[in-house]
Amino acid sequence: MAIRPLEIVDDVGSTNAELLARAGANPDDWPHLSALLARRQHAGKGRSGRTWSTDEHSALTFSILVRPGRPTQDWGWLPLLAGDAVVQVLRAEGTHEVPCGLKWPNDVVHLGGTQVLPEWGCLRKVGGLLAEVLPDASGVVLGIGINLDGADLPVPWAGTAAQLGVTAPAERLAEAIRDQLAELLTHWEAGADPHGVVAPACLTLGTQVRIDLPEGAVLEGEALDLEPDGSLRVRTHDGNEQVVLAGDVTHVRAG
């Protein structure tokens, strides 16, 4: 089945909100792997209600609608698979030998920082992902934001694709990421275990972490592995193991 051409708009509040609204109003017009790219975004959506803005030169901001052929209990893998697609494209497009991977659950990072920062070490956040389920639960919108270039980065731990040697324009990167995600989803829907794809790209595994949990508690320990649903298994300092479904992760010994 042919993929709908990438929809490009000049300016939008949030590509996720826009795609959710369009797909909700006219679902037949937005099939599996439809995507919406904004040249400028002034109310981008992040985790925990965070918002951010971009212009057409500094960042790639787009959203992909996925209508998975797997049960909803498996959908926790979707942002991780999308993140892996981003990592694979950045690695393929980059010309610099800078390690790039995932920081669980939804950040794309590289290890090319020239200054060791508190709580980040040499890790730099290149991009992030946000998954939102359609109101009728018929699919998931995957929002993807990537810092392309720019001297005016919002925080010291922000990184860019340019630091990896990536020079491809935003639209080409978006198409490449969507193509890579389509391939990953095809294998996943055919029954392939996503762990074997995502775990090698996840830089969180094997590190000491501090996790700020949604309910306000803090968990510290070693990130051991990904569970069958994509959640993170952590061994705490008292030797117990705990599974984390969501949270803000800090690599205590990053970089």
Could you tell me the CATH number of the domain that includes residue 227? 2.30.30.100
How far is C-alpha 236 from the chain's CA centre? 26
In the beta sheet, which residues pair with residue 235? 222, 241
Q: Are residues 113 and 209 in the same domain?
A: no
Indicate if 195 and 217 belong to the same structural domain: no
Q: What integer pLDDT is reported at residue 255 of this predicted model?
A: 47
Is residue 195 packed enough to be buried (19+ CB in 10 Å), middle (13-18) or exposed (0-12)? middle
Residue 66 lies in a domain: yes
User: How many domains is the chain partitioned into structurally?
Assistant: 2
Q: For residue 225, how many C-alpha atoms fall within 13 Å in the half-sphere facing its CB?
A: 7
Same domain, 135 and 174: yes
Question: Which pLDDT belongs to residue 43?
Answer: 63
What pLDDT does residue 55 have? 64
103 in the same domain as 13: yes
> Which tokens is 124 given?
């730099």
Q: Final residue of a domain: which of 163, 184, 200?
A: 200
Residue 247 lies in a domain: yes
In a domain, 76, yes or no: yes
Neighbour-count burial for 198-229, b at 16+ CB within 10 Å, e otherwise = bbebbbbbebebebeeeeeeebebbbeebeee
Give the residue numbers spanning the domain of 65. 7-200
Distance (Å, whole) CA 65 – CA 30: 8
Same domain, 70 and 168: yes
Domain annotation covers residue 231? yes
CA distance 16 to 12: 10
pLDDT, residue 107, reads 97
pTM given for the model? 0.93
pLDDT attached to residue 140: 98
Q: Is 230 found in the same domain as 144?
A: no
DSSP 146-215: EE---S--SSTTB--GGGGT----HHHHHHHHHHHHHHHHHHHHTT--THHHHGGGBTTTTSEEEEE-TT
What's the pLDDT score for residue 56? 59
Same domain, 141 and 18: yes
Residue 2 domain-assigned (yes or no) = no
Which segments in the chain show pLDDT lower than 50? 48, 254-255
Whether 97 is in a domain gets the answer yes
Q: Which residue, 200, 220, 237, sits at the end of a domain?
A: 200
- Tell me whether residue 124 is in a domain: yes
